[in-house]
Amino acid sequence: MEILKKHACFGGVQGVYRHPSAETGTAMDFAVYLPPQAEAGGTLPVLYFLSGLTCNWENVTVKAGAQRYAAEHGLILVAPDTSPRGLDLPGEHDSYDFGSGAGFYVDATQEPWSRHYRMYSYVTQELPGLVAAEFPVDTARQGITGHSMGGHGALVCALRNPGKYRSVSAFSPIVAPSQVPWGQKALGQYLGPDRQAWRAYDATCLVETTAWDRPILIDQGTADEFLAEQLRPELLVGAAAAAGIPLNVRHQPGYDHSYYFIASFIGDHIRHHAEQLR
């Protein structure tokens, strides 16, 4: 693991690292914030933040102000990238909502994506293994959150792995990718035309069978330009209610899809995770 940079931050250390990934076949960058409590020894709970379309580790690390709250609650904060980089596959860079920066946290099954676009396994297996080996993480206390495409990823990872994650939340998540243009485009090309295969990466489908039974927090801005067409939180609300899963969707008046929105409520989300991981 290569250290790219380190900065003192709220009494802790914000670092950025690079490692060769077996899942993606590329070098992958990720950020880790170690709160000041790490200096005391022992292990700490960890929270993974998955970013959205066109983003990488830098967005939440620089724009959200999350380190302040991670330091307050003694959480390690990990932010991975959103896709492999440097491949230049045919069509990979043609649009913002597919390919580079848009891995959708799935394990692709279609060529040429299947050899490298394995972000689900990267996020749920390879990266946590590396982080646990290199940082003082309590692997029994892991939480996951994210924004937009990353909110979709966080929900999918938690609902599919209730024994791995003890807390989950999301900002403006794509809750039903099988039913919206962003998701249909990505899942169709990564996974192929069989919509039954899409269900494994659709939160509204996963709530029907998941063993997850802990509180889920979602914040959604009412002025979000993607709300009606791409996000559609009401679909998850209905599905979770039918499944008896505790879901709290907070509609925040006047907030949009930007990191101004995330910065306004990131403290609530980290508090939510700290309570679940305590």
User: Residue 82, SS3?
Assistant: coil
Q: Which entry of 107, 224, 269, 273 is annotated as an active-site residue?
A: 224
pTM (predicted TM-score): 0.97
Nearest to 238 by CA among 228, 249, 227, 252: 249
257 among known catalytic residues: yes
Phi, psi for 168 (deg, rounded to 5): -150, 145
**Has 224 been annotated as catalytic?**
yes
Q: Are 89 and 116 in contact (CB under 8 A)?
A: yes
Rounded average pLDDT over 120-141 = 98
Q: Cα angle vertex 64, ends 58, 66, to 5°? A: 100
221 sits in which H/E element: strand 216-221
For residue 241, the surrounding DSSP H or E stretch is: helix 233-243
172 in catalytic set: no
In a 13 Å sphere around the CA of 93, the CA atoms on its Cβ side amount to 6
| Catalytic residue (one of 116, 257, 269, 272) | 257
Average pLDDT, the chain: 98
Q: Whose structure tokens read 């596959």?
A: 89
HEC assignment per residue over 134-193: HCCEEEEEEEEEEECHHHHHHHHHHHHCCCCCCEEEEECCCCCHHHCHHHHHHHHHHHCC
Give me the residue spans of the domains in the chain: 2-277
Of the candidate CATH numbers 3.40.50.300, 3.40.1390.10, 3.40.50.1820, 3.30.565.10, the domain formed by 2-277 belongs to 3.40.50.1820
Buried b / exposed e along 181-191 (16+ C-beta atoms within 10 A): ebbebbbbbbb
Residue 134 vs residues 1, 17, 19, 46, 184: alpha-carbon distances, Å: 9, 11, 12, 13, 37
Residue 34 is predicted with a pLDDT of 98
Dihedral sign of CA atoms 127, 133, 134, 136 in order: positive
Token pair belonging to 119: 């972000």
3-state secondary structure of 213: coil
Q: Where residue 141 falls among pLDDT bands split at 50, 70, 90?
A: very high
The tens digit of pLDDT for each residue in 21-36 reads: 999 999 999 999 999 9
User: H-helix or E-strand containing 73?
Assistant: helix 66-73
pLDDT of residue 196: 97
Q: What is the rounded distance in angstroms from the CA atom of residue 170 to the CA atom of residue 218?
A: 5
Dmax (CA) for the chain in angstroms is 52
pLDDT by residue (tens digit) across 174-226? 999 999 999 999 999 999 999 999 999 999 999 999 999 999 999 999 999 99
